[in-house]
Amino acid sequence: MHVSSFQPPPRTLMGPGPADVHPRVTAALARPTIGHLDPAFGAMMEELKGLLRYAFRTDNPLTMPVSAPGSAGMECCFVNLVEPGDKVIVCINGVFGSRMRENVLRAGGEAVVVEDDWGRAVDPQKLADALVAHPDAKLVACVHAETSTGACSDVKTLVELAHRHGCLAIVDAVTSLGGSPLEVDAWGIDAVYSGSQKCLSCTPGLAPVSFSERALTKITARSTPVQSWFLDLNLVLGYWQGASGSGKRAYHHTAPVNALYALHESLVMLAEEGIERAWARHRRNHLALRAGLTALGLELVVPEAERLPQLNAVAVPGGIDEAAVRARLLETYSLEIGAGLGALAGKVWRIGLMGWSSRAENILLCLGALGSVLADMGHAADTGAALHAAQAELGAGRGH
Ligand SMILES: *Cc1c(COP(=O)(O)O)cnc(C)c1O
């Protein structure tokens, strides 16, 4: 058998995730592996938890990375908080809301669905009506940044409504963490999960989570055991909450040591930049991309007030084969953008500006590449005008 090392082609990642990983993060990944019960590793973990609290804007002691991708963070929230028979109101406006419903059902809960169109934010009035119609509901679940459509929902208002009706709130912040304003404590979110590979620009495979005191009370008061052994917080806590450096951490599973170095490094970089400045950068770069897309004659699908800066759903112009465009971008420019999902399949491209992918040179590469591929395929696109419009916006934003 002939085998050789795998050398991935160099790519620019401007899809729905993973985002470009900063060289500092890949360098951290390559540092020597040490034991996951080593006191030096424990000290790094304590720092990592503090950095995650900074990113989530929370003081929740129970803030940590789950050793698996964002989907496991989702599952961790649902299996711990939903007991058999619990009624959960799930807001669905895209792919990830539907997955939340699936999680409720598999945890033995009853799901009440509040639906909104794909490409729109969750309508708070619909949630308010559902809470009145279902006074026995225990939880509300919603997605902050719906990566499948590029819509951002008003989580602050949705959580307020949930609390007014005595419900706890579970929020998906996989794509919002580090990219757009997210205030876990100020908004009173009870359980939140994210992913390492979107706006944190770390490698995929880790899921930061955070739980409020109220959520922890519900979890510890459960009358039935959590059906997932791996994700049962009562067990995981013995490891993650072990006193720092005292050797008291109990073995639960072998922590993904090097992946955690990488997450630590990406969070150090976020803290160095400052989270508010990271939010502003995502917004500024979104405006530059938008200016360029407009000059190319392309339209964003989500209404302006509900748009995410880090995920731009762009309508595919009539007569253009959307998959052929993506294939050309990848082959000729080594540039990845995303396809539409579900209701938007075949109708949109999803251009991500997440984390380290959200920078000027990526915007200019994307506009230049997209403009020339579209022009080649017969769509009247003025690439020079697009680059000029984006440059003007980038220049205007520099003083902010
Ligand atoms: C990417 C994503 C997930 C899933 O994360 P994985 O790391 O792919 O498991 C969940 N929710 C949203 C909103 C996402 O964008």
For β-strands 335-339 and 63-66, DSSP reports them as unpaired
Q: The domain 23-271: what is its CATH number?
A: 3.40.640.10
Residue 252 has what pLDDT? 87
Q: Which residue's CA is the closest to the ligand 1 atom numbered 5?
A: 70
C-alpha distances out from residue 87 to 82, 90, 135, Å:
8, 10, 10
Q: How confident is the model at residue 245 (pLDDT cuts 50, 70, 90)?
A: very low
Alpha helices in 186-338, H assignment, sequence order: 213-220, 233-240, 257-273, 275-295, 322-333
Query: Which residue type sits at 21?
Result: V
- Chain segment 315-329, per-residue pLDDT in tens: 999 999 999 999 999
Ligand 1 centre from 102 Cα, in Å? Answer: 14
Ligand 1 centre from 336 Cα, in Å? Answer: 17
- Chain segment 362-390, per-residue pLDDT in tens: 999 999 999 999 999 999 899 999 999 99
Q: Which residue's CA is the closest to the ligand 1 atom numbered 14?
A: 174
Residue 29 has pLDDT above 90, yes or no: yes
* Burial label, 386 (beta-carbon count in 10 A; 0-12, 13-18, 19+): buried
Query: Which residue type sits at 52?
Result: L
Instruction: Say if ligand 1 is within 6 A of residue 96 CB.
Output: yes
Domain topology for 275-398: Aspartate Aminotransferase, domain 1 (3.90.1150)
Q: Which residues contact 194 (CB under 8 A, 6 or more apart)?
A: 56, 70, 73, 173, 174, 176, 177, 200, 207, 208, 209
Instruction: Say if ligand 1 is within 6 A of residue 174 CB.
Output: yes
Q: Which residue's CA is the closest to the ligand 1 atom numbered 7?
A: 70
Alpha-carbon distance of 275 to 68, in angstroms, equals 24
Residue reference for tokens 């599952």: 75
Alpha-carbon distance of 230 to 105, in angstroms, equals 19
Nearest atom, ligand 1, residue 72 CA: 9
Instruction: Say if ligand 1 is within 6 A of residue 86 CB.
Output: no
Segments making up each domain of the chain, as ranges: 23-271, 275-398
Cα–Cα nearest to 114, from 135, 85, 134: 134
Instruction: Say if ligand 1 is within 6 A of residue 373 CB.
Output: no
Please give the order of strands across the beta sheet that includes 335-339: 12-14, 335-339, 348-352, 311-315
Residue 398 has what pLDDT? 65
Ligand 1 centre from 18 Cα, in Å? Answer: 10
For β-strands 139-143 and 87-92, DSSP reports them as parallel
Give buried/exposed letters for 250-274 (b at 16+ CB in 10 A, else e).
eebeebbbebbbbbbbbbbbbeeee
Alpha-carbon distance of 20 to 362, in angstroms, equals 10
Alpha-carbon distance of 308 to 311, in angstroms, equals 6
Q: Which residue's CA is the closest to the ligand 1 atom numbered 6?
A: 70
Reading the block at residue 125, the tokens are 């009035």
Residue 244 has what pLDDT? 47
Probe residue for ligand 1, chosen from 170, 174, 192, 193 as the CB with the greatest number of ligand atoms within 8 Å: 174
Residue 180 has pLDDT above 50, yes or no: yes
Q: Which residue's CA is the closest to the ligand 1 atom numbered 15?
A: 147
Alpha-carbon distance of 121 to 153, in angstroms, equals 5
- Chain segment 38-63, per-residue pLDDT in tens: 999 999 999 999 999 999 999 999 99
